[in-house]
Amino acid sequence: MPSLLFCGPKMAACGIVISIWGVIMLAMLGIFFSAKSAVLIEDVPFTEEDIRNDKNPPQNIYSLYNQVGINCFIAAAIYVVVGAVSLCQVRLNKRQEYMVT
Amino acid sequence: MGELFRSEEMTLAQLFLQSEAAYCCVSELGEIGMVQFRDLNPDVNVFQRKFVNEVRRCEEMDRKLRFVEKEIKKANIPIVDTGENPEVPFPRDMIDLEATFEKLENELKEINSNQEALKKNFLELTELKHILRRTQQFFDEMEDPSLLEESSTLIDPSDPNRGAPLRLGFVAGVIGRERIPTFERMLWRVCRGNVFLRQADIEDPLEDPTMGDQVHKSVFIIFFQGDQLKNRVKKICEGFRATLYPCPETPPERKEMLAGVHARIEDLQMVLNQTEDHRQRVLQAAAKTVRVWFIKVRKMKAIYHTLNLCNIDVTQKCLIAEVWCPISDMDSIQFALRRGTEKSGSTVPSILNRMQTKQTPPTYNKTNKFTSGFQSIVDAYGMGSYREMNPAPYTIITFPFLFAVMFGDFGHGALMTCAALYLVLRETRLMAQKIDNEMFNMVFAGRYIILLMGIFSVYTGAIYNDCFSKSLNVFGSGWSVRPMFSPQVGGNWTFKTLEDNNILQLDPAVDGVFRGPYPIGIDPIWNIANNKLTFLNSFKMKMSIILGVIHMLFGVSLSLFNHLYFNKPLNIYLGFIPEIIFMSSLFGYLVILIFYKWISYDASTSKDAPSLLIAFINMFLFNYNDPTNKPLYRGQSGLQIFLVLIALACVPCMLVVKTLVLRRQYLWRKRLGTQNFGGIRVGNGPTEDEAEIIQHDQLSQHSEDGPEFNFGDVAVHQAIHTIEYCLGCISNTASYLRLWALSLAHAQLSEVLWSMVMHIGLSSRSYGGAVLLAVIFCFFAILTVAILLIMEGLSAFLHALRLHWVEFQNKFYSGQGFKFLPFTFESILDGRLEE
């Protein structure tokens, strides 16, 4: 049977920790970007033109906020997947341990 | 908790142990681990002590066990560790143990030597097998007529010897593969190219019987002509440690030999397998009990070492030991002694007898798993003097707090708390794993410190309103831009102003711009303000001074409890009181000024607020005519002059007056004089009633005269202390500014990390940015842990440590005691080696 195991127990644990952290932090960031937090304005990629050519200010900036927020949610989803894979790896590692002993 | 404030009260006690019960009693004392034995025969050589023979036997057993352990480890058999604590064997069982170990060792040695001999034999046979197999090829090639034809035509057609086959001699052998090139060259040079060498590699590595490692070897065969060459070749082979094997000349003989070798190899393999099986069985049986044996033997050795410290009574009936023990544990010691006596079956009880002594007892702070980390922080600076105020209980709060002031970040604090929580919640499992990593063990020992540091960092992070360098706006900022545009309330901004200026400053004096402070911590608006650093620096610097002065004043007040406990009124009146007045009249006043300035100036009057620093410098210069720095309140100059004068007046109190008073007291005591009546010293008071027995020689172990009073020494010592204190007040207060510096550094570093790493991930306008963000976040996480948590955490830890050791503890802590080292089996149980 081809083994699906591709990383050791430490790597898998590291993956779980990073994905828990990533999911929480990126989801929070996503929420804050969707709420148009003023503190995060520096991280929104707007240019001078976005402000100048805005017909209905500040809709341009708001749509950029939403864009970044969605990106954050997608990244959080990626980390959910990473976490699930790491969890499987931990399980497989444990099973391997039992089989050896 | 009470015992944490000072070290345990200790007493010196004499133990009378009946000779037959001594062993059992000491073993019971070792199990409870509450007494420290003193060496009563320090001038007796180690080899002349009473139980040296037993110690030697224990050491011999220990050696045998170590040998067995080494063999077990070599065979890759896991040593069973059940964690049980075996009882100390009786002395009479020692012979049994010795016999067991002796048998085991001999058996193992025999097996090893047999195995080695067999393996050697096996190696030789294998090599011979390879030689016979390979050389067959060489001979076949040689006799191949087509090859012969070809080569001979190449050599010389007119050779007279051609046709008649040469009588060539040959030797065959095996040599290490890495020696082949030199071997070949040597043969060529020595025999002037008159020999013919063929060699072939043996594919599978062979096992070296003595070392047990795998070696690659090659088979060679050398053809030559004549006896002289034969001798030379043999010598060279010898020199290169090649093993030569006899090789029959004719093919049938070779074939026969090969068959014989094969049969022998098979037999030998069987015997070898059986030997290995036997060895495994023996080692596996030993692996089950070797840990228990180790503990037993080491406990016995420790007991005999301890018995060697005791004094042997003249009658040889009992051993006398002197021990330090905590008074609160006298009962359990008595109980242990009774148990020991019962176990040995002796009828005469062992006696514990308290003694009076003038010697300083060792310092013993009882700790549990929570306080031990903090106690070790204090002990690392210096073991506290006996019964001195122990800074550890205060350190439990102040240490994590000062750390957190420098490490204040909500996010980083939460991460640290999670890591520490993992260690704390899993502590039993992690402890059972017995991880041998030094770094991990250090962190694990400090898990409760880290937990508190993390929790406090979360708190200070909330106060600084910093979470991965971003602020959380929970309650809504107190600042508003809108009123700046309405002229009714005094706002003077228009859209034109916005067009013209890059940066504008809000004016809090305009009504409605500043609607009061944020409910908790720093207003989140500062996070995007341009003058954020100016504001935060002023706040953090003042905060460091306030915390520092409070911390130091607390340290000085703790010294009062030391003076009260040791009953030194002089140190209170001429030490503590001037010290605390000096500090509070200068720096305590500064703290009050800081608070005053915070409270009394609001947005409308803040333009006229004087600079605290200048005001404080002017206070020392008695300069009150500075037009740029208005007074903070009326009557400031009078109060300040008064405070400075008081502080100055305290200096001579500490510097000179104390020395003079000490000298007067000494002279007064000397004039009274004492008389010594046969070991009893009687002091004459001013009146008959005050005569008292000052000292009784029989009661004290070592009679020493009171310390001589040396005026010069005392004066110099006092002067140094005073100067150190007064200058220290200034430099230590400045030293607390590191709280500000480190917290600034931490905040800036995390901001840089965000803007250099996380910012890249966020600043994408398409959906592809999500993948980039996921990757970038991984880097962000790793860098956050490596730089901000570990590196910055270590630096903040170090500075918090320094603030405690230098700035806080030198106000009251002398740290000149020595540690109570009880006789205990604990370290033996953990498998650590002593000494």
Full 3-state SS string of B36-84: EECCCCCCCCHHHCCCHHHHHHHHHHHHHHHHHHHHHHHCCCCCCCCCC
At residue B133, the pLDDT reads 81
Distance from CA of A87 to the nearest CA of B (A): 17
Answer whether A16 touches B (CB < 8 Å).
Answer: no
Return the minimum-mean-pLDDT range out of B96-110, B263-277, B698-712, B732-746.
B698-712
Return the minimum-mean-pLDDT range out of B465-469, B516-520, B702-706.
B702-706
At residue B258, the pLDDT reads 87
In angstroms, the Cα distances linking B591 to A90, B612, B632 are: 56, 10, 14
Whether residue A68 and residue B527 make contact (CB cut-off 8 A), yes or no, is no
B96: its two tokens: 């049994």
Taking residues B798-810, what's their average pLDDT?
A: 94
Return the residue in A14, A37, A71, A78 with the most chain B beta carbons within 10 A, the one to mutate for interface testing.
Answer: A71
> Which residues of chain B make contact with A70, given a CB cutoff of 8 A?
767, 770
What percent of chain B is predicted at pLDDT more than 90?
35
Q: Which member of A18, A67, A78 has the closest CB to residue B765?
A: A67
| Pairing verdict, β B217-224 and B36-37 | unpaired
Q: Kindly report the CA angle at B399 between B397 and B405, in degrees rounded to 5?
A: 100
Return the residue in B762, B775, B776, B789 with the most chain A beta carbons within 10 A, the one to mutate for interface testing.
Answer: B762
- Number of other CB atoms surrounding residue B18 within 10 Å: 20
A97: its two tokens: 């341990």
Answer whether A24 touches B (CB < 8 Å).
Answer: no
Work out whether the CA dihedral B666, B668, B670, B675 comes out positive or negative: negative
Chain A residue at shortest CA distance from B771: A75
At residue B44, the pLDDT reads 83
Whether residue A18 and residue B762 make contact (CB cut-off 8 A), yes or no, is no
Q: What confidence category does residue B451 fall into, taking pLDDT thresholds of 50, 70 and 90?
A: very high
Distance from CA of A43 to the nearest CA of B (A): 6
Whether residue B473 and residue A26 make contact (CB cut-off 8 A), yes or no, is no
Taking residues B400-407, what's their average pLDDT?
A: 96
Give pLDDT tens digits for B626-684: 888 888 888 888 999 999 999 999 999 888 888 888 888 888 887 776 555 554 555 55
Whether residue A71 and residue B415 make contact (CB cut-off 8 A), yes or no, is no
At residue B722, the pLDDT reads 92
Beta carbons of B16 and B351 less than 8 angstroms apart: yes
Residue with tokens 């082949």: B180
Cα–Cα nearest to B300, from B106, B105, B99, B97: B97
Taking residues B19-34, what's their average pLDDT?
A: 88
At residue B374, the pLDDT reads 92
Calculate helix-pair angle for B532-565, B589-600, nearest 10 degrees. Answer: 140
Give pLDDT tens digits for B726-782: 999 999 999 999 999 999 999 999 999 999 999 998 888 888 888 999 999 999 999
Which three-class secondary structure state does DSSP give residue B352?
strand
Beta carbons of B361 and B11 less than 8 angstroms apart: yes
Return the minimum-mean-pLDDT range out of A32-36, B692-696, B716-720.
B692-696
Taking residues B174-187, what's their average pLDDT?
A: 86
How long is chain A? 101
What are the structural domains of chain B? 132-152+166-260 (3.30.70.2750), 568-672+706-736 (no CATH), 673-705 (no CATH)
B486: its two tokens: 């309405």
By the 10 Å C-beta count (0-12 exposed, 13-18 middle, 19+ buried), B211 is classed as exposed
Cis peptide before A58 (omega within 30 of 0): yes
Q: Per-residue b/e over B528-542, b at no fewer than 16 CB within 10 Å?
A: ebeebeeebeeebbb
Segments making up each domain of chain A, as ranges? 9-100
Beta carbons of B377 and B393 less than 8 angstroms apart: no
* Rounded Cα distance, A19 and A26, in Å: 10
> Which residues of chain B make contact with A75, given a CB cutoff of 8 A?
761, 770-771, 773-774, 777
Whether residue B770 and residue A71 make contact (CB cut-off 8 A), yes or no, is yes
**What is the pLDDT of chain B when averaged over all its residues?**
85
Beta carbons of B540 and B739 less than 8 angstroms apart: yes
Beta carbons of A16 and A73 less than 8 angstroms apart: no
List residues of B whose CB lies inside 8 A of any A CB.
411, 415, 468, 470-471, 473, 524, 527-528, 755, 758-759, 761-767, 769-771, 773-774, 777-778, 781
* Rounded Cα distance, B600 and B609, in Å: 9
Whether residue A39 and residue B524 make contact (CB cut-off 8 A), yes or no, is yes
Taking residues B9-20, what's their average pLDDT?
A: 88
> Which residues of chain A make contact with B765, given a CB cutoff of 8 A?
45, 64, 67
Return the residue in A23, A31, A43 with the most chain B beta carbons within 10 A, the one to mutate for interface testing.
Answer: A43
At residue B592, the pLDDT reads 95
Distance from CA of B498 to the nearest CA of A (A): 14
In angstroms, the Cα distances linking B583 to B262, B403, B422, B587 are: 95, 24, 43, 6
> Which residues of chain A make contact with B778, given a CB cutoff of 8 A?
18, 22
Taking residues B681-700, what's their average pLDDT?
A: 49
At residue B45, the pLDDT reads 83
Return the minimum-mean-pLDDT range out of B195-209, B261-275, B636-650, B808-822.
B195-209
Taking residues B103-125, what's their average pLDDT?
A: 90
B55: its two tokens: 């110690």
Q: How far is CA B377 from the centre of its chain?
A: 11
> Which residues of chain A make contact with B769, given a CB cutoff of 8 A?
68, 71
At residue B274, the pLDDT reads 92
> Which residues of chain A make contact with B777, given a CB cutoff of 8 A?
22, 25-26, 75, 79
Give pLDDT tens digits for B541-563: 999 999 999 999 999 999 999 99
Give pLDDT tens digits for B205-236: 887 777 777 888 888 888 888 888 888 888 88
Locate the DSSP E strands across B327-421.
351-355
Q: What are phi and psi of B536, to 5 degrees?
A: -65, -40
* Rounded Cα distance, B337 and B320, in Å: 14
Distance from CA of B755 to the nearest CA of A (A): 8
Query: Given a cut of 60, is residue B695 above it in pLDDT?
Result: no
Listed in sequence order, the residues at least 6 apart from B311 whose beta carbon sits closer than 8 Å to its beta carbon are: B40, B41, B319, B320, B321, B322
* Rounded Cα distance, A34 and A15, in Å: 27
Whether residue A44 and residue B763 make contact (CB cut-off 8 A), yes or no, is yes
Query: Given a cut of 80, is residue A2 above it in pLDDT?
Result: no
Give pLDDT tens digits for A60-98: 888 889 999 999 999 999 999 999 999 999 888 888 877
Cα–Cα nearest to B292, from B75, B82, B104, B59: B82
In angstroms, the Cα distances linking A41 to A30, B140, B527 are: 13, 87, 11
At residue B124, the pLDDT reads 87
Return the residue in A14, A16, A21 with the most chain B beta carbons within 10 A, the one to mutate for interface testing.
Answer: A21
DSSP class of residue B320 equals E
Distance from CA of A29 to the nearest CA of B (A): 10
Q: What confidence category does residue B703 fall into, taking pLDDT thresholds of 50, 70 and 90?
A: very low
Q: What are phi and psi of B467, to 5 degrees?
A: -135, 105
In angstroms, the Cα distances linking B34 to B22, B332, B387, B389, B666 are: 17, 9, 18, 22, 40
Cα–Cα nearest to B411, from B365, B359, B466: B466
Taking residues A24-36, what's their average pLDDT?
A: 93
Return the minimum-mean-pLDDT range out of B194-203, B687-696, B707-716.
B687-696
Distance from CA of B776 to the nearest CA of A (A): 10
Interchain CB contacts (distance < 8 Å): A and B: 73
Which three-class secondary structure state does DSSP give residue B721?
helix
Greatest mean pLDDT among A27-36, B83-92, B483-492 lies in: A27-36
Residue with tokens 């007119």: B158
Whether residue B767 and residue A71 make contact (CB cut-off 8 A), yes or no, is yes
Query: Given a cut of 50, is residue B153 above it in pLDDT?
Result: no
Query: Given a cut of 80, is residue A11 above it in pLDDT?
Result: yes
Q: Tell me, letter by letter, the H, E, C secondary structure of B648-691.
A: HHHHHHHHHHHHHHHHHHHHHHHHHCEEEECCEEEECCCCHHHC
Distance from CA of B747 to the nearest CA of A (A): 16
> Which residues of chain B make contact with A40, given a CB cutoff of 8 A?
470
Q: Which member of A37, A64, A75 has the closest CB to residue B770?
A: A75
Taking residues B564-591, what's their average pLDDT?
A: 92
Answer whether A43 touches B (CB < 8 Å).
Answer: yes
At residue B499, the pLDDT reads 84
At residue B684, the pLDDT reads 52
Cα–Cα nearest to B40, from B22, B9, B14, B11: B14
Check residue B631 and give left, alpha or beta (phi > 0: left; psi -120 to 50: alpha). beta
Return the residue in B528, B763, B767 with the most chain A beta carbons within 10 A, the one to mutate for interface testing.
Answer: B763
DSSP class of residue B195 equals S
Q: Per-residue b/e over A79-90, b at no fewer than 16 CB within 10 Å?
A: bbebbebbeebb
Query: Given a cut of 80, is residue B801 above it in pLDDT?
Result: yes
> Which residues of chain B make contact with A72, given a CB cutoff of 8 A?
762, 770, 773
Chain A residue at shortest CA distance from B779: A18
Whether residue A43 and residue B763 make contact (CB cut-off 8 A), yes or no, is yes
What percent of chain B is predicted at pLDDT more than 70?
91
Whether residue A22 and residue B763 make contact (CB cut-off 8 A), yes or no, is no
Whether residue A43 and residue B528 make contact (CB cut-off 8 A), yes or no, is no
